[in-house]
Amino acid sequence: MKQTVIQLTDVWKVYSMGEVEVNALQGVDVHITKGEFVAIVGSSGSGKSTMMNLVGCLDLPTRGVIFLDGKDIAKLSESTLAQIRGQKIGFIFQQFNLIPNLTALENVMLPLEFQDTPAGEARKKAIALLEIVGLSDRMHHLPSQLSGGQQQRVAIARALSNDPEVILADEPTGNLDTSSGTEVMALLERLWKREGKTIIMVTHDMNLAEHAERRIRLKDGKIVKGE
């Protein structure tokens, strides 16, 4: 039986907008097992961004329970949760979120430094990761000197820096042209099939979602049954 990595049980997320309460998620049950490629899909306003934040343990539920590796995240201190999250989950964002005044190499080294990896070891590992994503010849370039596709590949290398079990990708091709998007999806598939990474991808694009082995579709904060 495969190990459950992340589990959401009867999860609600309610936002107060003045006197109005908005139910962004309503009674969501999800479990994601080690080595799965799962796509969370839905149109704008469906609740998928809220779910991404909860699945990535970046936010706490209003009601319900979220387990990360069997631990209830609401019972962990913020520093403990941040450390576990940093070790377990690698984040890839649509906007790349690279530090503009750091080179590609320095951007990839950053999470390693946050985990107190010695500088020499961090540098060596970052170089190896940039080679994996095909950017060994661009490692000393700033983000502004790289194409969108290259920046996203740097972001993927950075997400892999602490060898996380889970890669959480939010619209990973949203700011890319078709060719670069195809390259990024091929890279994610390789990480899933060859490296055994658990991939959780949030997207509104059903064509992109076809790459996943399982799709969770959200509508009005609820999971559409039968998906």
The pLDDT of residue 1: 73
Eight-state DSSP code of residue 73: G
pTM: 0.90
Distance in angstroms (rounded) separating the CA atoms of residues 220 and 116: 42
**CA-to-CA dists, residue 34 to 15, 45, 62, 78, 101, angstroms:** 31, 28, 26, 24, 36
Instruction: Assess whether pLDDT exceeds 70 at residue 226.
Output: no
The pLDDT of residue 153: 93
Helices (H) and strands (E) in the chain, counts: 7, 10
| pLDDT > 70 fraction of the chain, expressed in percent and rounded | 99
- What is the pairing mode between strands 166-170 and 198-203? parallel
Instruction: Assess whether pLDDT exceeds 60 at residue 227.
Output: no
Measured over the CA atoms of residue 13, residue 94, residue 187 and residue 159, the dihedral's sign is: negative
The pLDDT of residue 159: 93
The pLDDT of residue 45: 87
Q: Where exactly are the structural domains of the chain?
A: 4-223
Lowest model confidence (mean pLDDT) among 78-82, 185-189, 190-194, 208-212: 78-82
pLDDT band at 186, cuts 50/70/90?
A: very high
Instruction: Assess whether pLDDT exceeds 90 at residue 37.
Output: yes
What's the whole-number mean pLDDT along residues 115-137? 93
What's the whole-number mean pLDDT along residues 203-225? 92
What's the whole-number mean pLDDT along residues 188-207? 93
According to the CATH classification, is domain 4-223 in 3.40.50.300?
yes
Span 56-85, pLDDT tens digits: 999 999 999 999 988 999 999 988 888 888
Instruction: Assess whether pLDDT exceeds 90 at residue 175.
Output: no
pLDDT band at 17, cuts 50/70/90?
A: confident
Instruction: Assess whether pLDDT exceeds 90 at residue 2.
Output: no
